[in-house]
Amino acid sequence: MTVLTELSTLDVLEAEAIHVIRECAAECERPALLFSGGKDSIVLTHLAVKAFAPAGLPFPLMHVDTGHNFDEVIDYRDRMVADLDERLIVASVQDSIDRGRVEDETGPRASRNRLQTTTLLDAIAEHRFTACFGGARRDEERSRAKERFFSHRDAFGQWDPRNQRPEPWSLYNTRLRAGEHVRVFPISNWTELDVWAYIEREGLALPSIYFAHEREVFERDGMLLAAHPAVERYPHEETFVETVRFRTVGDATCTGAIRSTAATVAEVLAETRASDVSERGASRADDRTSEAAMEDRKRNGYF
């Protein structure tokens, strides 16, 4: 007789993600996995490796590098890619600026977050990618909650939330015209806690900035930002040293740190369970500008 074991929520979420990754690889001509060095894209990469084991990935990883990343994240990225022996494409925002595709913002509020969109779309066109895997989750933000697993983008990279393709029974329509692409979100149904629980279960390594460390920071809009060469401070913004960690990893200019002494995955999990601030609320300066900020950026081709 066959003995079955109980499945956990993580087992089901893992299976769903792998199903989506395999569907995309099978149906889309030229996929790439958008790798940011953040925990969501690390989990996504791990799932992709599992989906095709023992063979390697049938697509490359692509990092849109703002040039304002934390060094720890770039180190992690390069080590991980070497360990996995996979192909990494780096699309650089600095290159886009140097080639006059975009103009760098200046001043204390300058961020390259918006500029990334051009760099990403240029890279998609240059490499003729037809699908980009992303680690976005529906629990992150209200407009994300409406995003499909396979999210169609027109030739301008735009998302039309009113005209999304229905996805009954996880039957995904991956048809494209020339110049179009799809964004594919295998971990759509995961929550931030699921991601941490999975990192713990699978014993995944993360960039060190996810864990408590001492860092020179300053306060802006009630958030702690890192003192970083890419961030210009107002005269009144004094720096001080705090024990902090990051809940998300992005551009140093707009990723907030939180005060924390959680130094291990288990401690981070415990803290996240108890937290009463959402991940985005804690860390993303760029989303606070307007109620519809994320939706507007997504329409225009943002991640």
d(CA 210, CA 227): 17
CB closer to other proteins out of 68 and 298 = 298
Q: Which of 55, 99, 178, 221 binds other proteins (CB under 8 A)?
A: 55
CA atoms of 147 and 207, how far apart (whole Å): 28
Give the single-character DSSP code of 159: B
Q: Are 223 and 281 in contact (CB under 8 A)?
A: no
Spell 179-204 as b/e; 16+ CB within 10 A means b.
eebbbbbbbbbbbbebbbbbbeeeeb
> Between residues 47 and 115, which has the closer beta carbon with respect to other proteins?
47
Site track for other proteins across 234-273, x = CB under 8 A: ----------------------------------------
Quick check: 203 binds other proteins (CB under 8 A)?
A: no
Q: Which of 30, 101, 138, 233 binds other proteins (CB under 8 A)?
A: 138
- Residue 114 binds to other proteins (criterion: CB under 8 A): no
The contacts of residue 176 (CB under 8 Å, 6+ apart) are 28, 130, 152, 182
The secondary structure of residue 259, as a DSSP letter, is E
Residue 229 found at the interface with other proteins (CB under 8 A): no
Stretch 5-24: interaction string toward other proteins, x if CB under 8 A: -xxxx-xxxxxx-xx--xx-
The answer to whether 31 and 24 have CB atoms below 8 angstroms apart is: yes
Given the structure tokens 């009954």, which residue do they identify?
168
Please identify which residue in 125, 145, 205, 241 interacts with other proteins, judged by CB under 8 A. Answer: 145
Question: Of residues 92, 94, 275, 300, which one binds other proteins by CB under 8 A?
Answer: 275
Q: Identify the residue among 33, 34, 51, 252 touching other proteins (CB under 8 A).
A: 51
Report the SS3 class of residue 8: coil
- Two structure tokens written together for 131: 């699908």
Where does this chain touch other proteins (CB under 8 A) — which range of 99-107, 141-149, 236-244, 263-271?
141-149
Segment (H or E) for 29? none
Shorter beta-carbon distance to other proteins: residue 68 or 280:
280
Assigned token pair, 212 = 């408590």
Contact positions vs other proteins (CB under 8 A):
2-4, 6-9, 11-16, 18-19, 22-23, 25-26, 47, 49-55, 138-139, 142-146, 161-162, 164-173, 175-177, 188-189, 191, 275-278, 281-282, 291-292, 295-296
